[in-house]
Amino acid sequence: MLYGLAQARAAAFEAGRIVVVEGYMDVIGLSQAGLAEAVAPLGTALTEGHLSELWRICDEPILCFDGDAAGVRAAHRAAERALPLLVPGRSLRFAGLPEGKDPDELILESGKAAMEAVLTAALPLAELLWRGALEGRDLSTPERRAALERDLAETCSRIGDETVRTQYRSELKNRAWALFHPPREAAPGARSRTAASSALPPAPHADAPRKPGAEVSNERDLAAGLLIEPGFAVHHLDAVARILPSDPRAAAFLSALLTALGDAPAGGEAERIEAAIPARVLDPVRTWARRLNWGGLSQAEREGRLSALVATLRYRALGAEIEAIRAAMAADPSPELWTRFQALKAEQARLQQIDGDLSA
C-alpha cells in the first residue's frame, strides 16, 4: 500500500506531480505544510506495484528520500526496480535532501520554500544512474574507463522497452565520451576525472548564488524567449524538443511547454501556457523574461533570436553525439550507424551556417 494515496490523488492531479517520501510522518509533515501530493510506501520498500500505481497519476513521480547513506541506497534500489518497467514518456525523478535531514525536519527548520527548492531540483533517472556509475571511480586508465562503459551498457540492457533502451544507450555513451574527451580549452584546476559527485543532487542554498555558465544562460534565454513568443514553439516543435537543457528549471519549463502546446492548433498559446503550467515552473522563467528585455524587438527579430539560440544549443550537443557515433562505428561499421553519422554531420553543417561563429 501507499500511505496517503487516497488523500494525495486529487492534490497530485492539481499540482501535476506526486512525491514519494520514506515514512508516514514525512507525508503528514508535507501535508501540513501545504504539499498534499505526498505518499509513502507502507511497511516495505518501493515495489513494482507501487510504481504502477504512481504512474497512473503522474508520468514522472518524484522520489524524495532522506539525505543519508540509507536514503541514497533506497534511491538506487528504486531506480534499478524501475528500469525494466520504463516506457516512452514514463520515468522517475529523484530529489536529494540535505544530509541528515528528512522532509519533516527540513520544513520545520527552513519552511515550505526550502522543500519546494529540493523538489524543483529533482534529477532525472538518467542523471541519477550516471552519477551512481561515477561514484568513487578512478577513471585514469583505459581499462577503468572501459569498465565504466561496460557497466553503463549493462545498466541499459535492463531497460525493457527497446526505444527507451536505445535512448539511454545514446545518452550515457555521449556522457562518457564528453567525460573522457574534455574540451582542450578547459581551465587549469578543472575537476579531476576521479568521480566525486554525490549520487543525489545537493540541496539548494539560497545564500550561495552562482553565476550560470554560457550554456545555462542560453538555455534560460531560450525558455524566456519561448514564454514571450510561444508561437515559435508551435511552428518549430521538433527543433525545440531536441533541446535537452542541463539547467533543471529550464528543462522543467520546456517539458511543460511542449506538453501544453504539442497537440493543440496554433493560436491561444499564452492562455494554454498559463492554464497548463504550474506557477512554480513559470515563475523563474518570468524573471528571466524580464531580464531578457525583448520588449522593443519585432516578432521577426524575436523569432530570429530564438532560431539562433536553438541552433547554438543543438550545435553544442551535436559534437559529442557525432563522436559517440564515430566510436560506435569503429566497433560496428553498420549501414545504420553510417546513415545516422551522415545525417548528424549534415545537421552540424547546416547549424554552423546559421550561427557561423560557433566554429571558432
Q: Are residues 120 and 149 in the same domain?
A: no
Q: Which residue has the higher pLDDT, 162 or 334?
A: 162
Sequential DSSP letters for 271-331: HHHHHHS-HHHHHHHHHHHHHH--TTS-HHHHHHHHHHHHHHHHHHHHHHHHHHHHHHHHH
- The stretch 309-330 carries a mean pLDDT of 77
User: What's the CA gap between 136 and 198, in Å, rounded?
Assistant: 9
Q: Are residues 219 and 334 in the same domain?
A: yes
**pLDDT value, residue 37:** 94
> In the chain, pLDDT over 70 holds for what percent of residues?
85
Instruction: Examine residue 190 and state whether it is found in any structural domain, yes or no.
Output: no
**pLDDT value, residue 181:** 59
Instruction: Examine residue 188 and state whether it is found in any structural domain, yes or no.
Output: no
Q: Are residues 46 and 30 in the same domain?
A: yes
**pLDDT value, residue 86:** 94
Cα 130 from chain centroid? Answer: 12
Q: Which residue has the higher pLDDT, 79 or 267?
A: 79
Instruction: Examine residue 258 and state whether it is found in any structural domain, yes or no.
Output: yes
Dihedral angle of Cα 264, 266, 267, 272, to the nearest 10 degrees: 30
Q: Are residues 272 and 343 in the same domain?
A: yes
Instruction: Examine residue 202 and state whether it is found in any structural domain, yes or no.
Output: no
| Chain segment 345-359, per-residue pLDDT in tens | 777 777 766 545 433
257 exposure class (CB count in 10 Å sphere: 0-12, 13-18, 19+): buried
User: What's the CA gap between 49 and 51, in Å, rounded?
Assistant: 5
Question: Residue 39: beta bridge partners?
Answer: 20
Instruction: Examine residue 193 and state whether it is found in any structural domain, yes or no.
Output: no
- Write the CATH number for 16: 3.40.1360.10
> Residues 261, 234: contact at Cβ < 8 Å?
yes
Q: Are residues 140 and 90 in the same domain?
A: no
Of 328, 352, 331, 350, residue with least CA distance to 340:
328
Instruction: Examine residue 194 and state whether it is found in any structural domain, yes or no.
Output: no
Q: Are residues 19 and 111 in the same domain?
A: yes
Instruction: Examine residue 284 and state whether it is found in any structural domain, yes or no.
Output: yes
Q: Are residues 87 and 32 in the same domain?
A: yes
Q: Are residues 75 and 107 in the same domain?
A: yes
Instruction: Examine residue 7 and state whether it is found in any structural domain, yes or no.
Output: yes
Q: Is the pLDDT of residue 1 over 60?
A: yes
- The stretch 78-87 carries a mean pLDDT of 93
User: Domain end: 108, 124, 140, which one?
Assistant: 124
Of 60, 70, 159, 175, residue with least CA distance to 119:
60
Angle among Cα 134, 139, 142 to the nearest 5 degrees reads 130
User: What's the CA gap between 356 and 311, in Å, rounded?
Assistant: 10
**pLDDT value, residue 17:** 92
Q: Which domain holds residue 73?
A: 2-124
Q: What are the φ/ψ torsions at residue 166 (nearest 5 degrees)? A: -65, -45
User: Domain end: 90, 124, 158, which one?
Assistant: 124
- Judged by average pLDDT, the poorest of 29-33, 67-71, 218-222 is 67-71
- The stretch 34-48 carries a mean pLDDT of 87
The number of distinct structural domains making up the chain is 3
Q: Is the pLDDT of residue 68 over 80?
A: no
- Write the CATH number for 147: 1.20.50
Q: How confident is the model at residue 288 (pLDDT cuts 50, 70, 90)?
A: very high
